[in-house]
Structure 1
């Protein structure tokens, strides 16, 4: 799922190729009703304000809230593990909420690895693998082989290596403005980035998972005289993942266009602005 594929340059075989519950502690709101006050001649008198009582009530509420927070942080004080798990399973977290499962245990080179053996881990793995496959490193043979060997199963990596090398030919790289080693001309910067917008589990079991990654991509040459300026694309990449040797690996994958939003009315930046932004803004490790 390289950026090369987005422009119709077959980087991969298109046909071969997911919580921490947020709890809120609501404070109490106290109201005081004031009866209509008449003048003294009508037999009504205004009661003097009792500042000391109000202060005691406010302090009492604050103490109760602090106690509630402390109790919540201790996990409910002595409940069983089963009760905690049930609470986590039934809590209603939003689809884009951060999760309590540690998303990444480490890195294999520059690629995140050691994902959790659950739906969240599968989604996190797919998002990070999409980033790797859309990076500029895919345009260099050695780094491409390293990426593929790291994130695919050994069988899939062996199957893809040859077709990918053919797809990233010198002719194709030349059309992108790169030399045979995937390097940009002096004074220019080649841009290829994948930015996941969201992930979705299509299917899941302990051994396999199918995850969709909706992403936007940047690709093009930024520099003087570039005939292929940096542009954006919108794709959905589907990864068939397998749990192998304590981590999620890609067994096969495919992608399709969209969903794509209506383009905004922001004017395109200059080549120098794009080059500066690419150099100054680093990427992320993604987690569900």
Structure 2
């Protein structure tokens, strides 16, 4: 996507503004967009203005939920309860213990799957999907198509993939600092991550749910000589989910800015430090 309007983005209703990034795969959207239409990529992706616009970018779609149920989930029920007369176990008994049910064990590629058919499962699905759709892999067509298949209702995938193929045009990729084919320039590290902070369900029926995911995101190019440094923003993704083929899938989603906390006094790290951190620190599977 070249700088400026493409496919009618910009002044048309529901079109893009000139911001560089937002939720999913580096895009920002502020109105409901049902996939399958012909107005953009379904997530309000906008072309980049310049490096200054990166101050407000979203590292994309989409939760450190109230607790991450990794450790201390999977032991015996009486483990650490004290009811057996033994000393409480070190994990699973403190005020910081993970809440809710055991995290999903399934994987659809690299994305969590097999979420519970309840409110908690819908929140976990929404958080994990926000992370996947806000990842750097969204800038690679092959990986992007797989992510869309894994996270969306099959009824909307084909049209959404077509919209995304146009949205991630050679011009757009260049505007975010990548090569025209989506590869990263030699010596640089492309960063696009979404970290959920919390979730809430705003509507629920037996086979549908609307979940808001409050996120912070990182996006930009790390490395010496980068003209698009990695920056962070805050945003909330609203995902409309549907129970399809024994799992939660996205029907549509929107995004709004904030809630945004006051910036702290932390000193910004060097480009090399950021690049190293991105490669050394992995992500999470999010669950209640």
Give 1:148 shift: 0.3
1:4 aligns with 2:26: yes
Structure 1 residues 243, 273: closer, same or farther in 2, change over 3 A?
same
2:265 partner SS: coil
2-structure distance, mates of 1:214, 1:255: 10
C-alpha deviation, 1:255, in angstroms: 0.6
1:174 matched to 2:174? The reply is yes
**Cα pair 1:198 1:213 within 8 Å, conserved:** yes
**Structure 2 SS opposite 1:286:** coil
Tell which has more relative contact order, 1 or 2 (C-alpha 8 A, sep 6+): 2
Alignment equivalent of 2:84, drawn from 70, 79, 90 = 70
The residue number in structure 2 matching 1:143 is 143
Q: Which has the larger radius of gyration?
A: 1
Give me the TM-score of the superposition, normalised by structure 1.
Answer: 0.70
* Displacement of 1:11: 4.7
Q: CA deviation at 1:68?
A: 6.2
Consecutive unaligned residues of structure 2, counting only runs of 5 or more, are 1-22, 31-39, 45-64, 68-79, 86-94
State the aligned residue count.
Answer: 218
- Describe the SS at the equivalent of 1:254: strand
CA contact (8 A) 1:238 1:254 kept: yes
Which runs of no fewer than 5 residues in structure 1 stay unpaired?
Answer: 21-65, 72-93
How far residue 67 of structure 1 moved from its aligned partner, in angstroms, is 10
Partner of 1:246: 246
**How much is the aligned-residue C-alpha RMSD, in angstroms?**
2.7
Shift of 1:234: 0.5
Given that 1:221 and 1:229 are in contact with CA atoms closer than 8 Å, whether structure 2 keeps it comes out as yes
Q: Deviations over 1:131-176 (max 9, x none)?
A: 0000001001111011001110011212211211111110000011
SS at match of 2:120: helix
Question: Residue deviations 1:98-156, cap 9 Å, x none?
Answer: 33422313101100000111111000000000000000010011110110011100112
Tell me the residue number matched to 1:226.
226
